[in-house]
C-alpha cells in the first residue's frame, strides 16, 4: 500500500450514491430557494410561474438529468475499487460542468439582464429536476443490496 492510498478518503460504493444524493439534493434546495424567492418577490402571479417551473422540470429531468444521473450511477457501481474515493461521485467532466453551471448562475444573477421572475422560473424547474435526480441516487443507494450491486 503506497502513501497516497493511505490518504485517500475511500468509502463503500453505496456511500457514493448517498453522497451524490446529498450533493444534488443540496443544490436542488439552493436553486429552489432562490427561484421561488425570485418569483414571490417580483410578480403577483407567483403561482403561475411556480407551476410553469414545475411543469418544465419534468422534461428537464427526463431528457437531461435522468441520463446524467443514470450514467453516474452506472460509473460509480462499475468502479473496480471496493472503496473508491469519496469525491468520485462525479467524474472530472462532471466537476467542470458543475463549476460552469455555478459560474453561469452567479453571472446571470449579477447582470440582471433576465427579469427575476423568469430566472426564478428557470431555477425552480432546474431545482426540481435536480431533486428528482437526487431521489434517483437515493433510491439506487437504498436498492444497492437488493439488486445485487456490491
Count H helices and E strands in the chain, helices first: 6, 0
Residue with cell 475499487: 81
Per-residue pLDDT, 82? 84
Residues contacting 45, CB < 8 A, separation 6+: none
Query: pLDDT tens, 107-132?
Result: 988 888 888 889 999 999 999 999 99
Please state the domain extents for the chain.
10-143
Query: pLDDT tens, 1-57?
Result: 566 666 678 888 899 999 999 999 999 999 999 999 999 999 899 999 999 999 999
Residues contacting 35, CB < 8 A, separation 6+: 53, 119, 120, 121, 122, 123, 124, 125, 126, 127
Per-residue pLDDT, 150? 47
Residue 90 has pLDDT above 50, yes or no: yes
Put simply, whether the predicted model's pTM sits higher than 0.75 gets the answer yes
Q: Residue 9: what are its φ and ψ, rounded to 5°?
A: -80, 80
Amino acid at each position: 500500500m503506497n502513501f497516497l492510498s493511505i490518504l485517500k478518503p475511500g468509502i463503500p460504493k453505496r456511500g457514493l450514491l448517498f453522497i451524490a444524493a446529498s450533493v444534488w439534493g443540496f443544490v436542488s434546495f439552493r436553486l429552489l430557494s432562490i427561484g421561488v424567492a425570485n418569483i414571490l418577490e417580483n410578480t403577483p402571479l407567483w403561482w403561475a410561474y411556480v407551476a410553469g417551473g414545475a411543469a418544465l422540470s419534468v422534461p428537464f429531468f427526463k431528457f437531461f438529468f435522468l441520463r446524467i444521473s443514470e450514467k453516474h450511477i452506472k460509473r460509480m457501481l462499475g468502479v473496480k475499487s471496493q472503496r473508491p474515493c469519496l469525491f468520485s461521485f462525479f467524474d472530472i467532466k462532471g466537476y467542470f460542468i458543475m463549476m460552469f453551471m455555478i459560474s453561469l448562475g452567479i453571472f446571470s444573477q449579477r447582470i440582471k439582464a433576465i427579469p427575476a421572475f423568469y430566472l426564478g422560473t428557470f431555477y425552480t424547474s432546474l431545482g426540481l429536476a435536480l431533486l428528482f435526480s437526487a431521489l434517483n441516487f437515493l433510491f439506487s443507494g437504498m436498492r444497492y443490496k437488493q439488486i445485487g450491486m456490491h
